[in-house]
Structure 1
Amino acid sequence: MAKTPATPPRRSASTSLASPAPRGPLPSTSETSYHKRLRSILLDHKKCRKEWNELVIRGCLARTRAAIELWSDIENGLKVVNSKKGGQSSAVRAGYLFAQSARLSEQLATINAVVSSLTDLVATMSQLAERAEALTVEAAKTRGTVFAFRDPLWVTWPLARFADGLQDQTTPYLHSLALIRSLLDTLTTFPPLPSSTSPASSDPTASTPPEEDKARPRPKPEELQAAMSLLAVQPLIPGKGGEGPEAWEEVMSVEVGGWNEGR
């Protein structure tokens, strides 16, 4: 007679596949000035990253597209004027081209202002990263190296890890700013624009460009398309699944007490 197989022992609670519950965040009543100052730095950096995205998308990208469309309109208009010089119709077209050229100049000025704002944002991010580093050094001196480099601040991360991470989050924006400047230099390179203040104001094709403008022809369509694509995707800032802003935000929402209550 076959033996009845023994009943396997039940899995005890200690061998459950479920991950152990994480350590809860430090109560707000137990926070020190280091907790509060670091959280303020981290939230200010978050604000800068948000403003960066808005400026790149609504500022650089949208304004550059508008500038390219304006130039295309001007270029087509110049061809028509060149083929049909003289008469009232030509004068009307010239006036239209002068107006479009003025609009293009305004767009280019706005793009330059956006780049200036991006530069200020990157400078602020760098200053915030430096403040976090200085806060770590201060904490090590006043509270000891264990507090600064080993003890969890809220959940599991020590103060020093936040400072290192903030610097890692800032560096891609420094590199991206340099790339944006290079891309805009390609995208906004236009031949001299018709000007109603030129000596031959009745002829939008009669202005004499400076020598440096003559040496910079309009980039080829494929170069413009590639530059616009890079401007849109911001390849130097890590995306989802990497070590970029989205992953950092997820970690901060867990590791920083009061994160979702911040500004």
Structure 2
Amino acid sequence: MSRLASFRGPSAPSSSPVPKANPNTTPKGKGKANSNPKSPSSPGRNVRGGSVEPMSPPAVSGGVLETTYHRKLRSMLLEMRTCCRTWEDLIDHDGFRAIQRLVDARTDLDNQLAQVPGGGLPRSRIVGPKLASMEERIRELDTVIAKLRKQFAKMNSIVDSLEALLSDAHKTKGWAWVSQEPLWTTWTLEKFVTEIPGLLAPHRRSLDEHAGLVEEVRSHDTPFAAAKEAVLRWAAPGTLEDEGWDARWEDLCDVEVDKWDPR
């Protein structure tokens, strides 16, 4: 029986030639599947551990998106506080110590001279060392006044910088922004800039008062009662107790200025 015979008889040969198989051709459907390329992550997302996480929004301060004007104002207010605190230290510590030691040295000299017999001379050198100590105390007082003048000049410079900041904000943000829109809580930039110069007048009075006390005790012929009175006036609370930084501004800034550093 012929090999071409089938159950139903021989099959008719095809008129189309059978194409020669290409050994390099991969059969359809059996090749390696092409993997889809990873799509780049969107700029607003982070990919971590196969999961997509949204990026956090820009940091804001107390719900307020701070501008350069916010940061500069805070910096200037802190600088003003430093000047006021330095002022208080100069008066309460350096100045008071110097004027008290000056009066004590004069009192000590008077007491030692009073113990010398009438018409006699002291057995040891008393006047020279005491006078040298007094002159040193006077130089210390002059240094305190010079430092107070320097702090006062800094305070005036800060006020000038605040006014320049207000002018610049007016040009870039508009008058409504500087005069009506609160920076953090309720105070506007204009409110801060117009109120802070109120610190200058009481500090000027304090400077004049203490400079006058130094002149009162400068002469070694100053009577003891007058010198003692000058010490008491130096130590007495002045206008800064009610009109200084801690009395009027520290608590206010703690409420009105975000990220304030209460110290």
**TM-score above 0.5:** yes
Matched residues in 2 for 1:126 and 1:28: separation? 32
Task: Tell me the residue number matched to 1:77.
Answer: 112
- From the two aligned structures, give the one with the greater helix fraction: 1
Aligned match for 1:163, one of 188, 193, 209: 193
Partner of 1:83, secondary structure, is: coil
1:28 shift after superposition = 7.4
Unaligned runs of 5+ in 1: 1-24, 192-217
Highest RCO, 1 vs 2 (Cα 8 Å, sep ≥ 6): 1
Note the residue ranges of structure 2 that are not aligned, 5 or more in a row: 1-59
Q: Secondary structure at the match of 1:190?
A: coil
Point out the structure with max Rg over C-alpha. 2
Distance 2:230 2:63 in 1: 48
CA contact (8 A) 1:189 1:219 kept: no
Contact 2:81-2:245 within 8 A present in 1 as well:
no
> Aligned ranges for residues 1-263 of structure 1 at < 5 Å?
26-27=61-62, 30-81=65-116, 83-86=118-121, 90-92=122-124, 95-191=125-221, 218-219=222-223, 221=225, 223-239=226-242, 245-260=246-261
Instruction: Give the distance between the partners of 1:120 and 1:134, measured in 2 at CA.
Output: 21
* Residue 224 (structure 1) shift: 3.7
Determine the C-alpha separation between the residues in 1 that align with 2:259 and 2:181: 19
What stretches of structure 1 move > 6 A for 4+ residues in a row?
none
Q: How many residues align?
A: 204
CA RMSD of aligned residues (A): 2.3
Kept in 2, the 8 Å contact 1:41–1:132? The answer is: yes
Contact 1:154 1:255 in 2 (8 A): yes
1:65, 1:180 → 2: CA distance? 14
CA distance in 1, matches of 2:112, 2:166: 61
AA of the residue aligned to 1:251: L
Q: CA deviation at 1:220?
A: 6.2
The Cα of 1:234 is off from its aligned counterpart by 4.2
What is the CA-CA distance between 1:74 and the residue it aligns to?
1.6
Question: For 1:79 and 1:157, how far apart are their aligned partners in 2?
Answer: 64
Report the CA distance shift for 1:58/1:243 in structure 2 as closer, same or farther (over 3 A).
Answer: closer
Please report how far the alpha carbon of residue 190 of structure 1 lies from its aligned counterpart in structure 2 after TM superposition.
1.7
Task: From the superposition, tell whether residues 28 and 38 of structure 1 become closer, same or farther in structure 2 (CA, over 3 Å).
Answer: farther
> C-alpha offsets along residues 41-79 of structure 1, whole Å, 9 cap, x if unaligned?
000010111111111011111110110000111223334
State the distance in 2 between where 1:220 and 1:70 align.
11
1-structure distance, mates of 2:82, 2:172 = 29
- Give TM-score, length-normalised by structure 2: 0.70
Q: Is the 8 A contact 1:129 1:170 kept in 2?
A: no
Amino acid corresponding to residue 91 of structure 2 in structure 1: V
Could you say if the C-alpha distance between residues 44 and 66 of structure 1 is closer, same or farther in structure 2, counting changes exceeding 3 Å?
same
> Is the alpha carbon distance of 1:36 and 1:150 closer, same or farther for their aligned partners in structure 2, counting shifts above 3 Å?
same
Q: What TM-score results when the alignment is normalised by the length of structure 1? A: 0.70
CA distance in 1, matches of 2:98, 2:224: 20
Change (3 A) 1:188 1:28: farther
Identity %: 25
